Structure 1
Amino acid sequence: MDENEWKYHGEGNKSLVVSHVEHSQVLRFLKYPAEEPGNSHKAAKEAFGHLQNIVDFSKNVMKPFLGENYVHHGNVVHLPLGFVRQLSLKVEQERPGKSFRNTYFGGIFL
């Protein structure tokens, strides 16, 4: 994966969103404050659970309510750490000045 194939779209609801420049793909990263190094596994586990809850809600509540043609519930995906680090550096330059600079993102919702 190449971080240069993705562009920053925006932030909100404790998320950061990027999209692929050629394909109809979106990555939604959860934003969270930097934790103590020993808590990174706990933070990753919590992020995964939070993302899975979003997918489950979209799949089990929103999709039946609005219809299959209008809701894509997405998937939780695992990305190579090197790609996420490079994308983070690229996106940091594109984020508006008012964004929290000490906030990191991890956990993916596609």
Structure 2
Amino acid sequence: MTNINHRPLLFFLFLFGSVGSQSTIPGRFYPIEVVNDPHIQEIGEFAVSENNKQSGVQLVFIRVISGEKQVVAGINFRLVVEAKEGEAVHQYETLVYEQVWTGYRQLTSFTFKA
């Protein structure tokens, strides 16, 4: 009688059996379903504030309109934010990297959305 170790097969089924579900796969962007979440709004406000520091432009954060997140060694947030420059309201695409457990946050990109 042969003794077969089924652990690798079980691991494979566990890992790939949930791909079709709502599980999070590292490296892939997923929609943020509740953009009104205070944490998401805080990240959008951070993006505008950091852009103001780096560019010298004085935008006023209004809100996050939509976004996606990507699990890496932390989380990348790709957000579309609305901000005012004077009386004009524009949308901007931002990318913010965050490591909650270290308190680290970095604006990676901030571009005008045409």
TM-score of the superposed pair, with normalisation by structure 2: 0.28
| Structure with the higher strand share, 1 or 2 | 2
Q: Which has the higher contact order (CA 8 A, sep 6+)?
A: 1
Q: Compare CA radii of gyration and give the structure with the larger one.
A: 2
| Structure with the higher helix share, 1 or 2 | 1
